[in-house]
Structure 1
Amino acid sequence: MAPGGVPNSAASGGRPPGGAWPDPAAPGGPATGAAPRRAPRSLPPDLPRPPTASQAGVLRPEEGQRHFALTRPAAHPGLGTWIERYWTVRWSLPPGAPYLSSVLTHPAVHLTVESGDGPRHGLEMPEALVTGVVTKRFDVLLRGEGRVFGVKFRPGGFGAFTGQDAATYTDRAVRLTEAIPDGAAAIRAAILGADDDAERISLMDEFLLARRPAPDPSYERLLEIVADLLADRELTSVQAVCDRYRVGPRTLQRMFRRYVGVGPKWVLQRFRLHDAQLMLDSGEVDDLADLAARLGWFDQAHFNRDFRDVVGVPPGAYAARRS
């Protein structure tokens, strides 16, 4: 089910004392126009990083809660540099009554150990998978009984953790044995055989902590930029990002492709679409033209098209289904 867990902006360490990092889920977003943040490079891995995911993602979340149970446990603090959090999904559906779960995906790679009625992702279950960034809507048909234990990497986290080019996994799901051969079969068997989530968390912590890489200043710089893209709704163009961080468009593009697997323009638009989804799900939107302008679209028609291309319906129809 890979990207099926609802993102949690408070995961993997939360925010530091004093609330120095903005809350991307707060109405209206953080204050804008502030000087660019210059966080220390290569912070110790057990110190918290700023949020790099909002609470958006699962489409029609109130409906989904009637079909599956979701938890969002934290990973070990020593993994916070690369891991946003863990997530688990469990479902038990009546025979002949499947449920289609749809997700407006994040720029994140997921490691999942999945079981239950299958196949899923074209593979027989149970299986351990690595799923790259999914650029379109992510759909998975849940049927019968099943469970997923997932690791949600930060944007760029998988590329930094493994040293691999994340773009090779974009829009692909592969067996964990192909992506991280060392110990993949053992952790798959251990997670599938564990009695509860507490044991699964401990096992995954041990597996990942044993493989922590050396500090990567380029990745730390990327995290700083991604956190800004998420938090500042005034950032609506790649050029604005380049100007703020004094980096050329080509350099920024190469950095994102290598670590995240998609370009900065895609990440920026996806974060603004997540903002739109959060507002539509909350029922707080009365004027779609105003929403489009607030989030940086040229006009409502362009916003409608971009939302429909990914979600499958225009924003007005999505909001009406909630009602």
Structure 2
Amino acid sequence: MRDRTNATPPATASTAGVLRPSELARHVDLVREPVGGAAAPWVENRWSLRWRLPHGRWFDSGVLPHPTCSLTVELGSHPRAGVPAGETVLVTGVCTRRFDVEVRGWGRVVGLRMRPGGLTALTGHPASAWTDRSVAAGEVLPEGLVRALADRDLADAGTPWAEAAEAGLAALAGERPDPRYALLLDVVADMLADRTLLAVAQVADRHGMTVRTLQRLFTHYVGVGPKWVLARYRLHDAVSALHDGFDGTLTDLAVQHGWYDQAHFTRDFTALVGMPPGRYRERSGG
């Protein structure tokens, strides 16, 4: 098991998942930055969105979910659906379905993507409390930190907001390490990096635990089960391959990413993305 005090944490999430990224870039400025320093064991990266669309125009943004939650400040003319009224500093848990947002008017979002389980490790709250929900950050984090992060001038500055959020989160860390969280990060990093891992039993065996123990670990820290995480990572891989111009057959694509036949791959792809892989490839220009 890695020593989280001194080691650089492994990658536990990718930048995959944005559907039709070239279309998004025409409407929204997206910036991602790595996170270092004291917050790195719990925070994967920082990101920001900014847009200003003419009256009467909009863009439907879609993102395939990751096994992560986000801490954000969200300002704009059209608050997204599901946000508690009047709240701007939010915790959004793992979304088990495609994450869709209608982009209209003007908006500014600055956020931190937590590592899987990171917010639970810092606060002790089970991640399942936020699954498929956006909640006021005050339900999860100290009032003083949330009040500071609600400052509109700080939010508009972008990077200073992210730095303040990272410092506030790092201050929540206790003196004693959390060995269960360290184990979780090792497992998730393994799932992300090793494309041959296709079944939960494989993962459990490699890390010396039972499937039931692995399921309990993920339910508490991540808010979803390990089977869901494996399936999402492999679908991210398949969608990214289409973005990169994969020119083989869809059967080849399915088998390459862990499906035994094209029919099951098409069903899973359509259920999450909202259209069959062949149609998505045509719309993506692949």
Equivalent residue runs for 1:233-244 within 5 Å = 233-244=195-206
The alpha-carbon deviation at position 253 of structure 1 amounts to 0.3
The alpha-carbon deviation at position 131 of structure 1 amounts to 0.6
The alpha-carbon deviation at position 47 of structure 1 amounts to 3.3
* 2:153 matched residue in structure 1: 193
- Counterpart-to-counterpart distance in 2, 1:158 and 1:122: 20
- Counterpart-to-counterpart distance in 1, 2:240 and 2:192: 13
> For the Cα contact (< 8 Å) 2:51–2:108, is it kept in 1?
yes
Structure 1: stretches of 5+ with no match in the other structure: 1-38
Q: SS where residue 27 of structure 2 aligns?
A: coil
Tell me, yes or no, if structure 1 residue 128 matches structure 2 residue 89.
yes
The alpha-carbon deviation at position 295 of structure 1 amounts to 1.2
The alpha-carbon deviation at position 119 of structure 1 amounts to 2.7
| CA-to-aligned-CA distance 1:96-146 (integer Å, 9 cap, x gap) | 101111000100011110000123133346611111100000001111111
Tell me, yes or no, if structure 1 residue 94 matches structure 2 residue 83.
no
* 1:182 matched residue in structure 2: 143
> For the Cα contact (< 8 Å) 1:47–1:77, is it kept in 2?
no
Q: SS where residue 102 of structure 2 aligns?
A: strand
> For the Cα contact (< 8 Å) 1:107–1:267, is it kept in 2?
yes
Q: Give the direction of change, closer, same or farther, for the CA distance of 1:171–1:320 in structure 2 (3 Å limit).
A: same
TM-score under structure 2 normalisation?
0.94
Equivalent residue runs for 1:254-265 within 5 Å = 254-265=216-227
Cα RMSD of the aligned pairs, angstroms, is: 1.5
Aligned partner of 2:11 among 48, 51, 67: 51
Amino acid at match of 2:61: S
Aligned partner of 1:83 among 19, 43, 50: 43
| CA-to-aligned-CA distance 1:166-204 (integer Å, 9 cap, x gap) | 0111001111111214324422333x2225223223322
* 1:295 matched residue in structure 2: 257
Amino acid at match of 1:154: R
- Counterpart-to-counterpart distance in 1, 2:191 and 2:146: 37
Give the number of equivalent residue pairs.
Answer: 282
Aligned partner of 1:279 among 234, 241, 249: 241
Aligned partner of 1:65 among 25, 36, 56: 25
- Counterpart-to-counterpart distance in 1, 2:193 and 2:109: 29
> For the Cα contact (< 8 Å) 2:43–2:113, is it kept in 1?
yes
TM-score under structure 1 normalisation?
0.84
Structure with the larger helix share:
2
Amino acid at match of 2:149: R
> For the Cα contact (< 8 Å) 1:132–1:169, is it kept in 2?
yes
- Counterpart-to-counterpart distance in 2, 1:163 and 1:128: 20
Structure 2: stretches of 5+ with no match in the other structure: none
Percent identity between the aligned chains?
A: 48
* 1:29 matched residue in structure 2: none
